[in-house]
Amino acid sequence: MQNCPMADRRTATRAIHAGERKPPADFIPVVTPIYSDATFVYDSLESIDKIAGGERHGFTYSRHDNPTTACFEEAVADLEEASVAVAFASGMSALYLALLAAGAQKGSRILAARDLYGVTVKLLTDVCGASGAEVRFADTMDLAVLEKEMAEFRPTVLLVESISNPLLRVCDLEAVCAAARRFEARVVVDSTFATPVLVRPLALGADLVVHSATKYLGGHGDLVGGVVAARESFRQPLKYFSRLIGPVLGPFEAWLARRGMKTLPLRMERHCANAARVAAWLDEHSQVERVNYPGLASHPDRALAGRLFEGMYGGNVSFEIRDAGREQVFQFINALKMCVPATSLGDVHTMILYPAISSHRDLAPKTRERLGIRDNLVRLSVGLEDTVDILEDLGQALGLLSAKSA
CATH code, domain with 305: 3.90.1150.10
Q: Over the stretch 170-227, which tens digit does the pLDDT of each residue have? A: 999 999 999 999 999 999 999 999 999 999 999 999 999 999 999 999 999 999 999 9
Q: pLDDT band for position 1 (50/70/90)?
A: very low
**Residue 4: per-residue pLDDT:** 56
**Residue 368: per-residue pLDDT:** 82
CATH of the domain at 91: 3.40.640.10
Range of the domain at 78: 11-261
The answer to whether 64 and 240 have CB atoms below 8 angstroms apart is no
> Rounded CA gap, 60 and 40, in Å?
5
Specify whether 374 is catalytic.
no
Q: Is the pLDDT of residue 365 over 90?
A: no
Q: Which of 117, 216, 313, 354 is catalytic?
A: 117
The answer to whether 225 and 249 have CB atoms below 8 angstroms apart is yes
Lowest mean pLDDT among 27-36, 82-91, 107-116: 27-36
Specify whether 313 is catalytic.
no
Q: Are strands 316-321 and 340-341 parallel, antiparallel or unpaired?
A: unpaired
Specify whether 375 is catalytic.
no
**Residue 59: per-residue pLDDT:** 92
One domain, residues 222 and 278: no
Section 319-337 average pLDDT:
95
Q: Name the amino acid, one letter, at 401.
A: L
One domain, residues 246 and 310: no
Q: Which of 50, 63, 235, 259 is catalytic?
A: 63
Q: Is the pLDDT of residue 388 over 90?
A: yes
**Residue 373: per-residue pLDDT:** 86
Q: Are strands 157-161 and 186-190 parallel, antiparallel or unpaired?
A: parallel
Q: What is the 3-state secondary structure (H, E, C) of 78-131?
A: HHHCCCEEEEECCHHHHHHHHHHHHCCCCCCEEEEECCCCHHHHHHHHHHHCCC
Q: Which of 78, 115, 172, 190 is catalytic?
A: 190
One domain, residues 143 and 196: yes
One domain, residues 148 and 288: no
The residue among 261, 281, 302 that closes a domain is: 261
Q: Over the stretch 124-145, which tens digit does the pLDDT of each residue have? A: 999 999 999 999 999 999 999 9
As a 3-state breakdown, the chain gives helix, strand, coil percent values, each rounded to 5, of 40, 15, 45
The residue among 243, 261, 279 that closes a domain is: 261
Section 304-311 average pLDDT:
94
